[in-house]
């Protein structure tokens, strides 16, 4: 019996990738705004429905760069229910994260609790479209306008998502996408910033290349966070198949819903009607009446060679590296969800038979 992992990277055929990288062996131009890189930026602007895209070596460096570029100081209101990257990028920029609780429905930041956390030091809101669920973008925009705050979205999970028909990257000042191997769309490692101000393209171009303007001028203490041509080539190939990949994920998602919707003690994350989804993850919440705890179910599935993830557990605010600086009991819903959530295997090539097998184990106790 073969193992079922929580995810599997999408890849083109070996032949398609070889064809795509062939000319690199002639041009010998491997990075620094190469042809593939530039073409991918154009194609992603189209696909993601935004005016400007800057590519990066990964999503984390993109997010780090966005915060650095905005030259923020002070406190940032954010969510503890996220991946390490979101909070680390804030802290690495010398900013103080202030954790806001999440809502029960879609696990994104609870916009109704943001204003209580605003102080005269607050400079921005960094929110996460968790599992591809759009945040309460209207409310966040209202708050940001009222208090003159920047809004940066961690859209690492939200590639291709639309809200009321509007592509997700059109909300906030800057959105970050991750193209890590485990995401819906990948460039092996990679990431991007999407934004509406065209002039920022040059700024991000400099920032990700050591702050170099030209041969004799370095304007900024920048970093090295460029996407190379082999990554961009993978991105061009994967973009050709993205609609098909998402359609296959949809079938997996629907099968899970069909089989688990009546399962006792299992709460599903049913996505909203006005959201065009990407089916990035399949989180379930294990309620008390299920009988087993989340950790027991995790173990039981693992014994059957099915590998799920406690994503996101622990809360970022409970990480060892943050040395108990934050009190996670102040975000009780996030804490509770983190203790109960399990993300089930989800990828385009997951067979519906495997979905059945997984659901049977979950239901049979």
Q: Which residue has the tokens 């005269």?
A: 120
Tell me which residues in 235-274 interact with ligand PLP (CB under 6 A).
none
Residue with smaller CB distance to ligand PLP, 153 or 253: 153
Which stretch in 33-41, 44-52, 56-64, 167-175 sits in contact with ligand PLP by CB under 6 A?
56-64
Residue with smaller CB distance to ligand PLP, 223 or 361: 223
Residue with smaller CB distance to ligand PLP, 266 or 344: 344
Site string for ligand PLP, 184-203 (x = CB under 6 A): -------x------------
Chain-centroid distance, C-alpha 8 = 16
Asked whether position 86 contacts ligand PLP by CB under 6 A, the answer is yes
- Using CA atoms, how far residue 270 sits from 2, 104, 187, 279, 282, in Å, is 29, 12, 29, 11, 10
Is 344 strand, coil or helix?
Answer: strand
User: Measuring CA to CA, which residue among 231, 237, 247 is closest to residue 349?
Assistant: 247
Residue with smaller CB distance to ligand PLP, 59 or 172: 59
Give the pairing type, strands 150-154 and 174-178: parallel
> CB–CB of 309/281 below 8 Å?
no
Rounded to a whole number of angstroms, the minimum distance from the CB of residue 166 to ligand PLP is 21
Asked whether position 157 contacts ligand PLP by CB under 6 A, the answer is yes
Rounded to a whole number of angstroms, the minimum distance from the CB of residue 79 to ligand PLP is 10
Residue with smaller CB distance to ligand PLP, 83 or 253: 83
CB neighbours of residue 275 within 10 Å:
19
* Binding-residue total with ligand PLP (CB under 6 A): 14
Residue with smaller CB distance to ligand PLP, 155 or 355: 155
Query: Of these, 36, 150, 180, 208, which contacts ligand PLP (CB under 6 A)?
Result: 180
What is the chain's length?
Answer: 365
- Terminal CA-CA length for the chain: 21
Q: Which residues pair with 53 in a beta bridge?
A: 194
Residue with smaller CB distance to ligand PLP, 155 or 246: 155
Residue with smaller CB distance to ligand PLP, 172 or 191: 191
Residue with smaller CB distance to ligand PLP, 191 or 345: 191
Give the C-alpha separation, 136 to 150, whole Å.
Answer: 15
The runs of H, that is alpha helices, within 126-281 are 137-147, 200-207, 229-240, 242-260
Site string for ligand PLP, 275-314 (x = CB under 6 A): ----------------------------------------
Whether the bond into 327 is cis, omega within 30 of 0: no
- Which two three-digit tokens encode residue 219? 């304007």
- 162 phi and psi angles, rounded to 5 deg: -125, 145
Query: Of these, 10, 52, 58, 87, which contacts ligand PLP (CB under 6 A)?
Result: 58
- The residues, any chain, with a CB within 8 Å of residue 47's CB and separated by 6 or more, are 160, 239, 242
- Please spell the DSSP secondary structure of 256-271, one letter per residue: HHHHHTT-TTEEE-PP
Query: Of these, 7, 52, 85, 228, which contacts ligand PLP (CB under 6 A)?
Result: 85
Rounded to a whole number of angstroms, the minimum distance from the CB of residue 186 to ligand PLP is 9
> CB–CB of 68/93 below 8 Å?
yes
Asked whether position 60 contacts ligand PLP by CB under 6 A, the answer is yes
Asked whether position 154 contacts ligand PLP by CB under 6 A, the answer is yes
- 293 phi and psi angles, rounded to 5 deg: -80, 170
Site string for ligand PLP, 90-129 (x = CB under 6 A): --------------------------------------x-
Is 110 strand, coil or helix?
Answer: coil
Query: Of these, 12, 34, 59, 80, which contacts ligand PLP (CB under 6 A)?
Result: 59
What is the binding site for ligand PLP (CB under 6 A)? Answer: 58-60, 82-83, 85-86, 128, 154, 156-157, 178, 180, 191
């Amino acid at each position: 019996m073969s193992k079922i992992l929580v995810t599997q990277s999408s890849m083109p055929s070996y032949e398609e990738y070889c064809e795509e990288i062939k000319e690199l062996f002639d041009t010998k131009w491997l990075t620094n705004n190469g042809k593939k890189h530039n073409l991918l930026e154009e194609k992603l602007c189209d696909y993601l429905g935004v005016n400007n895209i800057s590519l990066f070596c990964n999503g984390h460096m993109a997010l780090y760069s966005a915060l650095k570029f905005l030259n923020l100081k002070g406190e940032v209101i954010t969510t503890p229910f996220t991946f390490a990257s979101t909070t680390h990028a804030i802290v690495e920029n010398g900013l103080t994260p202030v954790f806001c609780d999440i809502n029960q429905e879609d696990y994104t930041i609870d916009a109704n609790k943001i204003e209580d956390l605003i102080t005269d030091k607050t400079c921005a809101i960094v929110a996460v479209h968790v599992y591809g669920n759009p945040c309460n973008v209207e409310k966040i925009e209202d708050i940001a306008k009222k208090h003159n705050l920047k809004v940066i979205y961690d859209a690492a999970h939200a590639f291709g998502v639309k809200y009321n028909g509007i592509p997700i990257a059109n909300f906030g000042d800057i959105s970050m996408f991750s193209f890590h191997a485990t995401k819906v769309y990948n460039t092996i490692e990679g990431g991007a910033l999407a934004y509406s101000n065209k002039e920022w393209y040059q700024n991000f171009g400099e920032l990700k290349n050591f702050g170099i303007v030209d041969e004799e001028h370095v304007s900024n203490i920048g970093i090295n966070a460029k996407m190379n041509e082999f990554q961009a080539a993978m991105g061009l190939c994967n973009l050709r198949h993205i609609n098909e990949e998402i359609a296959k994920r949809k079938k997996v998602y629907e099968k899970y819903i069909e089989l688990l919707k009546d399962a006792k003690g299992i709460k599903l994350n049913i996505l909203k009607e006005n959201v065009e989804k990407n089916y990035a993850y399949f989180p379930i919440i294990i309620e008390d009446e299920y009988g087993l705890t989340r950790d027991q179910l995790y173990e039981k599935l693992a014994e059957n060679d099915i590998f799920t993830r406690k994503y996101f557990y622990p809360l970022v605010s409970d990480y060892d590296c943050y040395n108990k600086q934050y009190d996670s009991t102040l975000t009780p819903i996030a804490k509770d969800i983190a203790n109960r959530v399990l993300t089930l295997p989800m990828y385009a090539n997951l067979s519906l038979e495997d979905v059945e097998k997984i659901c049977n184990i979950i239901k049979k106790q």
